[in-house]
Amino acid sequence: MTALATALRDSARVVARVAAGASLAVEFERFVEGEAETSRAALIDLTHGTLRRYGRVQGVVRQLSRRERGDPLVEALLWCCLYAFESGRYADYTIVDQAVRACAALERWSAKGYVNAVLRGYLRQRASLEARLRGEPEARYQHPRWWVEALQAAYPEKWEDVLAAGNSHPPMCLRVNQRRSGVAAYEEKLAAQGIAARIVGDTALLVAQPMPVDRLPGFGAGEVSIQDAGAQRAAPCLELRSGLRVLDACAAPGGKAGHILELADVELTALETDSARCARLERNLARLGLRANVLNADCTRIDSWWDGRPYDRVLADVPCSGSGIVRRHPDIKWLRRHADLAAFALRQAEILDALWQVLRADGKLLYATCSVFPQENDAVIDAFVARQRAPGARAVRLPLGDGAAAQGLPDAERDGFYYALVHKQA
Active site residues: 370
Closest C-alpha to 60, from 87, 82, 93? 82
- Determine the Cα–Cα distance for residues 57 and 172; give it in Å rounded to an integer: 26
Helix ranges (DSSP H) in 71-203 = 72-87, 92-105, 112-133, 137-141, 145-154, 159-166, 183-192
**22-27, Cβ contacts within 8 angstroms, sequence gap of 24 or more:** 23/331, 23/335, 24/48, 24/51, 24/329, 24/330, 24/331, 25/329
CB 99 within 8 A of CB 116: yes
CB 337 within 8 A of CB 282: no
Bridge pairing between strands 172-176 and 204-207: antiparallel
Where is 368: in which H helix or E strand?
Answer: strand 359-369
- Determine the Cα–Cα distance for residues 387 and 114; give it in Å rounded to an integer: 60
Residue 213 Cα distances to 207, 252, 257, angstroms = 12, 19, 20
CB 320 within 8 A of CB 370: yes
Residue 322, SS3? coil
- Determine the Cα–Cα distance for residues 319 and 152; give it in Å rounded to an integer: 24
Sheet of strand 293-296, all strands in order from the earlier edge strand to the far edge: 293-296, 267-272, 245-248, 311-317, 359-369, 418-424, 393-396
> Rg (Cα) of the chain, in Å, rounded?
23
Closest C-alpha to 378, from 336, 425, 345, 333? 345
CB 356 within 8 A of CB 388: yes
